[in-house]
Chain A
Amino acid sequence: MLLPQFLPRFYIYLFAMIFAICLLATSLNMVLGFGGMYQFHHAVFYGFGAYAFALFVTKSGLPLWIGYMIAPFCSAFLGLVLGLITVRLTKLYFGMLQISLGSLVWAITYRWYSFTGGDDGIHGIPVPDLIGSSSGAYYFNLIVTAACLFLMYMIVNSPFGRTFQGIRDNPERCEAVGVNVQKQQLVGLIIAAFFAGVAGTLFVTVEGSVFPDLMFWTLSLEILIMCLLGGWFIFMGPALGAAIIITLRTFVGIYTEYWTLILGIVLMLLIFFLPEGVLGLFLKKASPAEKKEG
């Protein structure tokens, strides 16, 4: 909690970034691990939230806190739009269509120089020192992430979350007992998009800039890796995975530029030897539900 008093600035920045990505990975896992939906392009909601916040702050003269309020709802709205198109499909079709539509959002962002800054993005977003300084961002991200994780934990354990997990384990049976599967999945997607948007605003708080890579599909798959690494049947698994990946990337990046090579090899080893994730390995209590169809 009081780390900023002792650690160098670099580490505080790193921690603040980890908090944001932890939130992002956990929000993905809400639909992925608990909903069983093949959410292949989660980063688009993250990037959309970050862009919505950045554009709001730079283009409108309104107070900052309104931006923090509005940006997640923009992401949630995007979740609603994409969800309405994709949720009719299941599994791989769903995932591939989502990658496609997400890439459309990315493409527009990438090309629309006059509004989004194109491939340069937007830099120097003014965030007041209270939350924009490195220790300020640390505390701000810590509090927001903790609050959001708590909220998501409540949602996962609410009747809604239980139904969601039921759909994951057996969609046909849920349909048969009167659950509107597609509606549940749509709502789940919107909630996940909302929290991804929050993570996007946290990223801007730390970094002070946005760029189109934030919604590129490779980032989405990297978040998937985080979920896999931490263990996606455990609530805190993805957050742990995110922390490991971000830390690794930062320190490997100091020694070599071939980070993706290392990530690729780590991922291959992970899939071969540790499919339940690090936390799953320790807890060994992953529910039998994960042995779903291949």
Chain B
Amino acid sequence: MEFAANITLSALLQQVLVGLSRTTILFIVASGLSLILGVLRIPNVAHGSLYMIGAFLTYTFATLVGQSALWFWLALIVAPLGVALLSFVFERGLFCHLYEREHMMLLLFTFAFSLVIGDMVKLIWGSDYRSLTAPLFLQGSFSISGFPFPRYNLFLLIVGPLVAAGLWFLTNKTKIGKIARAAAVDREMVGAIGINVSWIFAAVFVIGCYLAGLGGALVAPTQNITQGMDHAIIIEAFLIVIIGGLGNIWGALLGALIFGLTDSIGILVLPQFAIVFPYMAVVIVLTFRPKGLLKSTW
């Protein structure tokens, strides 16, 4: 076979590293989706749109006063918060009145939200491509056994575990995390002991959307910021959440790993159809474990 010649050990290693940094982004976005699914039981179709807004906001903030490292870091902090604020307004203003409805209605409502966001982004930022460069010390690359590896990807590899640890701390060690996990299992009971479930839902929704925004902010320097990046990520995030187990954060991590690695290694094997490999992995996983690899919360 012709393609076999391309696969050397170092090329494989490089692709694994690239896949791992892709995994970081996927994990951050999918964990937010999984959080919302686990507690609110809503497939948030607007999640990809919030990710897109995160990327556009990062671009806007980072280039507001000329490009400098300081503004880039500020943008990384401010943009996800902006997304969180938007989702907070949406949740408290509209969405929280609908929790009694069927899942189908809630899904369609988040779809309506994503449609509105899609056109708002077009209205505000136009339909041009945007690109953002990372601060100087994150630019360029260093070599790993002869292959260049971008510094920014290394940065992502550091951020990913940090976010995972933060999420673990939030869900297992804090009061709100414990209440949210309890509400995921039995929301009536949690309400019965005097906790305002509606506000817990709001908090979880906002945190989940914050993660979408964070994913968008982190991805901004690595690719073109454009209309349509919402559609690309949302399906991937859905798949990751499904193979991982709905509502399970570690499932999201596992799913993101499977997705990121099969994608990046698939590029070595069959470039044109690399996109197919992660999907094949999903089908294989689901054939044997229809409810995902790890235990889902519902």
Question: Which residues, 106 to 165 on B, are CB-close (under 8 Å) to A?
Answer: 107-109, 111-116, 118-120, 122-123
Central interface residue in A89, A103, A111, A264, by most chain B CB within 10 Å: A264
Check if A59 is an interface residue, CB within 8 A of chain B: no
Which of chain A's residues have a CB closer than 8 A to the CB of B89?
A: none
Check if B176 is an interface residue, CB within 8 A of chain A: no
In the complex, are the beta carbons of B282 and A100 less than 8 A apart? yes
Given that A99-B238, A104-B276, A107-B276 are contacting pairs, would A261 and B120 also be in contact in the complex, using a CB cutoff of 8 Å? yes
In the complex, are the beta carbons of B112 and A107 less than 8 A apart? no
In the complex, are the beta carbons of B238 and A267 less than 8 A apart? no
Nearest CB in chain A: distance from B255 CB, A: 11
Which of chain B's residues have a CB closer than 8 A to the CB of A64?
A: none
Given that A96-B242, A97-B242 are contacting pairs, would A267 and B282 also be in contact in the complex, using a CB cutoff of 8 Å? no
In whole angstroms, how far apart are the Cα atoms of A271 and B100 in the complex? Answer: 12
Which of chain B's residues have a CB closer than 8 A to the CB of A93?
A: 242, 246, 290-291
Given that A38-B104, A111-B275, A275-B101 are contacting pairs, would A261 and B119 also be in contact in the complex, using a CB cutoff of 8 Å? yes
Size of the chain A interface, CB-CB below 8 angstroms: 44
In the complex, are the beta carbons of B105 and A271 less than 8 A apart? yes
In the complex, are the beta carbons of A261 and B109 less than 8 A apart? no
In the complex, are the beta carbons of B235 and A267 less than 8 A apart? no
Check if B295 is an interface residue, CB within 8 A of chain A: no
Which of chain B's residues have a CB closer than 8 A to the CB of A293?
A: 102
Given that A224-B108, A264-B113, A271-B105 are contacting pairs, would A218 and B231 also be in contact in the complex, using a CB cutoff of 8 Å? yes
Check if A225 is an interface residue, CB within 8 A of chain B: yes
Question: Which residues, 106 to 147 on A, are CB-close (under 8 Å) to B?
Answer: 107-108, 110-113
Contact among A103, A113, A216, A264 with B279 in the assembled complex (CB-CB below 8 Å)? A103
In whole angstroms, how far apart are the Cα atoms of A293 and B105 in the complex? Answer: 12
**Residue of A at shortest CB range from B234?**
A217
Contact among A89, A257, A261 with B116 in the assembled complex (CB-CB below 8 Å)? A261
Check if B283 is an interface residue, CB within 8 A of chain A: yes
Check if A92 is an interface residue, CB within 8 A of chain B: yes
Size of the chain B interface, CB-CB below 8 angstroms: 45
In the complex, are the beta carbons of A271 and B272 less than 8 A apart? no
In the complex, are the beta carbons of A228 and B108 less than 8 A apart? yes
Question: Which residues, 72 to 124 on B, are CB-close (under 8 Å) to A?
Answer: 94, 97-105, 107-109, 111-116, 118-120, 122-123
**Residue of A at shortest CB range from B116?**
A264
In the complex, are the beta carbons of A264 and B235 less than 8 A apart? no
Which of chain A's residues have a CB closer than 8 A to the CB of B101?
A: 271, 275, 294
Nearest CB in chain B: distance from A73 CB, A: 23
In the complex, are the beta carbons of A265 and B112 less than 8 A apart? yes
Which of chain A's residues have a CB closer than 8 A to the CB of B120?
A: 261
In the complex, are the beta carbons of A265 and B116 less than 8 A apart? yes
In the complex, are the beta carbons of B279 and A107 less than 8 A apart? yes
In whole angstroms, how far apart are the Cα atoms of A104 and B102 in the complex? Answer: 27
Check if A248 is an interface residue, CB within 8 A of chain B: no
In the complex, are the beta carbons of A101 and B283 less than 8 A apart? yes
Nearest CB in chain B: distance from A241 CB, A: 12
In the complex, are the beta carbons of A264 and B119 less than 8 A apart? yes
Which of chain A's residues have a CB closer than 8 A to the CB of B200?
A: none
Check if B8 is an interface residue, CB within 8 A of chain A: no
Check if A292 is an interface residue, CB within 8 A of chain B: yes
Which of chain A's residues have a CB closer than 8 A to the CB of B238?
A: 96, 99-100
Check if B287 is an interface residue, CB within 8 A of chain A: yes
In the complex, are the beta carbons of B275 and A267 less than 8 A apart? no
In the complex, are the beta carbons of A92 and B111 less than 8 A apart? no
Nearest CB in chain B: distance from A225 CB, A: 7
Check if A60 is an interface residue, CB within 8 A of chain B: no
Check if B273 is an interface residue, CB within 8 A of chain A: yes
Check if A260 is an interface residue, CB within 8 A of chain B: yes
Question: Which residues, 249 to 298 on B, are CB-close (under 8 Å) to A?
Answer: 272-273, 275-276, 279, 282-283, 286-287, 290-291
In the complex, are the beta carbons of A268 and B94 less than 8 A apart? yes
Which of chain A's residues have a CB closer than 8 A to the CB of B100?
A: 294
Which of chain A's residues have a CB closer than 8 A to the CB of B108?
A: 221, 224-225, 228, 267, 271
**Residue of A at shortest CB range from B275?**
A107
In whole angstroms, how far apart are the Cα atoms of A267 and B107 in the complex? Answer: 11
Which of chain A's residues have a CB closer than 8 A to the CB of B283?
A: 85, 101, 104
Check if A285 is an interface residue, CB within 8 A of chain B: no
In the complex, are the beta carbons of A85 and B286 less than 8 A apart? yes
Which of chain B's residues have a CB closer than 8 A to the CB of A268?
A: 94, 109, 112-113, 116
Contacts from A to B (Cβ < 8 Å): 38, 40, 85, 88-89, 91-93, 95-97, 99-101, 103-104, 107-108, 110-113, 216-218, 221, 224-225, 228, 257-258, 260-261, 263-265, 267-268, 271-272, 275, 292-294
Question: Assuming A261-B118, A263-B115, A265-B112, what are 17 further A-B pairs, CB within 8 angstroms?
Answer: A88-B290, A92-B246, A93-B246, A93-B291, A95-B43, A103-B235, A111-B275, A111-B276, A228-B108, A261-B116, A263-B112, A264-B116, A267-B108, A267-B115, A271-B101, A272-B94, A294-B102
List 25 contacting pairs A-B, 8 Å CB cutoff, sorted by A: A85-B283, A85-B287, A92-B41, A92-B103, A92-B246, A96-B242, A97-B242, A100-B239, A100-B242, A101-B279, A103-B235, A103-B279, A104-B279, A107-B276, A221-B111, A228-B105, A258-B119, A260-B115, A261-B123, A264-B115, A264-B118, A267-B112, A271-B108, A272-B98, A293-B102
Contacts from B to A (Cβ < 8 Å): 41, 43, 45, 94, 97-105, 107-109, 111-116, 118-120, 122-123, 231, 235, 238-239, 241-242, 246, 272-273, 275-276, 279, 282-283, 286-287, 290-291
